[in-house]
Amino acid sequence: MPVENTVSNHYLHGDLLKAIQEAITLSGKTIDDISVEDLAPVDEFHIGGRAATENLLGQLNFSQQHHILDVGCGLGGAARFVTNKYENHVTGIDLTPEYIDTGKVLCKWVKLENNVTLHLGNAVAMPFQNESFDGGYMLHVGMNIEDKDSLFKEIFRVLRNGASFGIYDVMRIEEGELTFPVPWAMDRSISKLATPNQYVEALVNAGFEVSKETNRRDFALEFFRILREKSEASGGPPPLGLHTLMKESTPVKINNMIENIKASYISPVEIIAHKKI
């Protein structure tokens, strides 16, 4: 089986839209009054959720007229946040059919289907013309892509000159045996972690200039601490959250990831790059 299919199957839920609808009902909302903010707990599938998205996007200087690329968009949560905040158009691409199909429905629920376009496709061979986008980002995507050189060359191709590109990925920090499963992989077969230096090297080789690199380990551990305290205080997680996506495997995957971060084997890292004018 091609690795792309293996990665896509890893994220397959099977009945995701129904699960989200049921969770919305349990939370006291309906699809008629749900908002971008209400959906954030489930459609921001990365460490730190909406807070992490805001932190990265706040460094990229997107404006209303910009057409933005979301690489590995998942359900399109970050794309909906970006277009809702900056009033621009966002195009997302992701390997997982269920995520794209569900994401399109969520866009309609919050009336952003004219501002967000979600495509099924591979990030290393995107169906877009050269220099199509004014900026872009990827959130927890590179962990499943081994060929970072091809990835960033393809992103470089579709960005216009002067475009900013933000990365927020889990990266390898120190050597050590990782504990699996984690949210992006059941085992090491589809876990394609790289170090920040390897990311920077691949970006530079593609033609980017790298202006900033930030290890967000402390932010991640604090985020999970607060999340755990809230869950314990309320007797369990809220109706809508990452457990909606990962189902019964959620506690094990999250706990393993936290332990791997505590051991400094991995950490979420931000990298800001620019396509030279």
In CATH, what number is assigned to the domain containing residue 269?
A: 3.40.50.150
How many Å apart are CA 209 and CA 205, to the nearest integer? 10
Averaging pLDDT over each range in 25-34, 224-233, 258-267, which range is the top one? Answer: 258-267
Query: For residue 29, what pLDDT is reported?
Result: 92
State the pTM of this model. 0.96
Sign of CA pseudo-dihedral 41, 43, 44, 50: negative
Q: Are 131 and 159 in contact (CB under 8 A)?
A: yes
Query: Which of these ranges, 155-164, 169-178, 188-197, 228-237, has the smallest mean pLDDT?
Result: 228-237
Nearest to 23 by CA among 267, 236, 191: 236
Question: Phi and psi of 3, rounded to 5°?
Answer: -60, -30
How many Å apart are CA 86 and CA 134, to the nearest integer? 13
The yes-or-no verdict on residue 259 having pLDDT over 60 is yes
The yes-or-no verdict on residue 196 having pLDDT over 70 is yes
Beta strands in 81-228 (DSSP E): 89-94, 116-120, 133-139, 159-172, 208-215
Nearest to 150 by CA among 119, 130, 184, 125: 125
- Per-residue pLDDT of 97-121, as tens digits, reads 999 999 999 999 999 999 999 999 9
Query: For residue 236, what pLDDT is reported?
Result: 85
Phi-psi domain of 39 (left: phi exceeds 0; alpha: psi -120 through 50; beta: other)? alpha
Give the confidence band of 235 by pLDDT, cuts at 50, 70, 90: confident
Mean pLDDT of 183-200: 97
The yes-or-no verdict on residue 83 having pLDDT over 80 is yes
Give the confidence band of 277 by pLDDT, cuts at 50, 70, 90: confident
Query: For residue 133, what pLDDT is reported?
Result: 98
Number of domains in the chain: 1
The yes-or-no verdict on residue 14 having pLDDT over 70 is yes
Query: For residue 265, what pLDDT is reported?
Result: 98
The yes-or-no verdict on residue 47 having pLDDT over 90 is yes
Mean pLDDT of 86-98: 95
Segments forming the whole domain that contains residue 227: 3-275
More confident residue, 265 or 233: 265
Give the confidence band of 1 by pLDDT, cuts at 50, 70, 90: low
